[in-house]
Chain A
Amino acid sequence: MIASEALAAWLADPEAQRRSYQGVDDCVRRWSSHRLMTETERALVSLEERTPEAVLGVARAFMDRAEDLDALMAELLSSSAADPFFRPPFQPMSSDIHNAFLLYHHPDLSIGLGVSGVDMLAAKKSGPRGATSIGFTGVTTLYRYLRAGGATLSFWEAPPITEMFDSSRAGAARLVGRRRIEDGEEIVIDGRHQSFVIDHAVSDIIFFQALVRVDAAPVAAEYDSKSLSLIGASSTDETSSRVQMMVTLLRTMEREDAVPLIVEALDSPHFYTRWHIMRELLALDADAALPHLRRMAEADPHPEVRATALQTLQLFFADEPAPAGDVQCLG
């Protein structure tokens, strides 16, 4: 590595490094106990109704605290100016066209402050591109544009994503409007059936983003930008994805002693997780899986899971006697 002069000096000076780390620690201490954070936390905990609208109310109250947010920004700016090795203690979030800091995080609500760079947008729109998609996040998101950048957004809708989501009935995305947004404007996107695309901008867009996970759809859906048809879905639930990976690992390790735990995970609220776990259980211990497979074929709430479970029963267990409880009583 070829270090710049300033970096080389910093790396050679343990006291300068200690001061930089101390500056970050001090910032953490001040802001983690700041009323902006603690009162937001309290407001979320004490919500009587945990609906997307109620959680959005807490997010709006956070964004309305201009004095506190200005003080936070002023501190980050002065600390960064005083020490080039100061690192703002907020999780950075970056994509091809956005840079943001995660200011507040709670399992039900994340609030970020970011910028969509007009140069980044231009590079993305005019550079070489493969296939693109319109994403429906499955969650409710509020955007408040501090600087709208003269941006024009196109708004899109698709059939609502529900617990019964089925790719064969996902329909198509459709354009429902296009307009320029203004400084200070707020838009709420219900990612269970709404999305938007930044079509054009003339300067950087600076915005708050509040993402609400309450009542999220089970999946996020992507529609192809050209054909407007569904191209894929992914889980909105990180925990269930982790459970899926853990169960796959246990099956790969042939941990039959984990069967009781795996059976418990069959109760997932998500149809795709239930079937993923059933496949793993069948491969790990088919005998233990059989009664659960029968129940799934009979009573799983998702029709596709029921049909696939029935198909699996016929494929592997056609010669197994039906359990006593299933014998039809005559007379």
Chain B
Amino acid sequence: MTKKIAIANVPELTTSVGMHGSVKQKEVGGPICFAIVVAAIMAL
């Protein structure tokens, strides 16, 4: 029988990495988070 594992029980990495463009706190006004618009389609 196929072993069933619940995803919540599988260990996670200690180094947690969020999805592209996600930030934890508000930045204080440095580089524009330009990377977030990587998918932006320029109308040109």
Interface residues of chain A, those whose CB is within 8 Å of chain B, are: 24, 28, 31-32, 37, 89-91, 93, 95-98, 100, 102-105, 110, 112, 114, 116, 121, 124-125, 129-135, 137-139, 141, 165-168, 189, 191, 195-198, 209, 211, 213, 218-220, 222, 224-225, 231-238, 240-241, 244-245, 251, 271-272, 275, 279-280, 282-283, 285-287, 304-305, 308, 311-312, 315-316
Which B residues are CB-close (under 8 A) to A90? Answer: 42-44
Q: CA A238 – CA B39 in complex, angstroms?
A: 8
Q: Which residue from B16, B29, B40 sits with its C-beta under 8 Å from A197?
A: B29
- Evaluate contact between B26 and A131: CB separation under 8 angstroms: yes
Contact B10 A312 (CB under 8 A): yes
Bound CA span A279–B11, Å: 8
Residues of chain B in range 1-44 having any CB-CB distance to chain A below 8 Å: 2-7, 9-35, 37-44
A189 to B19 alpha-carbon distance, docked (Å): 23
Say yes or no: A95 contacts B33, CB within 8 Å.
yes
| From A89, A168, A272, residue with most partner B Cβ within 10 Å | A272
B16 CB → nearest A CB, Å: 7
Are A196 and B30 in contact, CB atoms less than 8 angstroms apart?
yes
Residues of B with C-beta under 8 A to A286: 2-5
**Majority SS at the chain B contact face:** loop
Tell me, in angstroms, the Cα distance from A251 to B5 when the chains sit together: 12
Q: Is the CB of A168 within 8 A of B19?
A: no
Q: A133-B25, A231-B25, A235-B18 are in contact. Are A305 and B6 (CB under 8 A)?
A: no
Contact in complex: B7, A233 (CB < 8 Å): no
- Of residues B11, B17, B32, B33, which shows the largest number of chain A Cβ atoms within 10 Å of its Cβ? B17
B15: chain A residues within 8 A (beta carbon): 165-168, 233, 271-272, 304
B7 and A198 contact, CB distance less than 8 A = no
Chain A interface SS verdict (over half): mixed
Question: Knowing that A98-B32, A100-B32 are A-B contacts, what are 8 other residue pairs whose CB atoms are under 8 Å apart, sorted by A's residue number?
Answer: A24-B43, A121-B29, A131-B25, A133-B23, A189-B31, A225-B28, A251-B7, A312-B10
Interchain CA distance A275-B44 in the complex, whole Å: 38
Q: Provide the residues of chain B in CB contact with A198, threshold 8 Å.
A: 29-30
Looking at the complex, which one of B13, B17, B31, B41 makes contact with A235 (CB distance below 8 Å)?
B17
- In the complex formed, the residue of A with least CB distance to B29 is A198
Q: Are A134 and B30 in contact (CB under 8 A)?
A: yes
Given A168-B15, A197-B30, A286-B5, answer yes or no on A93-B25 (Cβ-Cβ < 8 Å).
no
Alpha-carbon gap, A213 to B20, bound state (A): 13
Known: A165-B15, A197-B30, A308-B12. A93 touches B37 (CB 8 A): yes
Considering the complex of A and B, which 10 residue pairs feature the smallest CB-CB distances, nearest first?
A: A89-B43, A232-B24, A272-B17, A283-B7, A234-B18, A241-B20, A286-B3, A133-B25, A167-B15, A91-B40
Q: In the assembled complex, which residues on chain B have CB atoms less than 8 Å from the CB atom of A235? A: 17-20
Asked whether B13 lies within 8 Å of A37 as measured between CB atoms, the reply is no
Cβ–Cβ < 8 Å partners of A312 in chain B: 10-11
Whether A135 contacts B33 by the Cβ 8 Å rule is yes
Chain B residues whose CB sits within 8 angstroms of the CB of A234 once the complex forms: 17-23
Question: Is the CB–CB distance between A232 and B31 below 8 Å?
Answer: no
Contact: B44 with A231, CB < 8 Å?
no
Docked complex Cα distance between A187 and B41 (Å): 27
Q: In the complex, are the beta carbons of A112 and B23 less than 8 A apart?
A: no
Give the residue name and chain of the A residue nearest to B20 (CB): A241
Q: Are A133 and B7 in contact (CB under 8 A)?
A: no
Nearest chain A residue, comparing its CB with the CB of B40: A91
- Alpha-carbon distance between A232 and B16 when the two chains are bound, in angstroms: 7
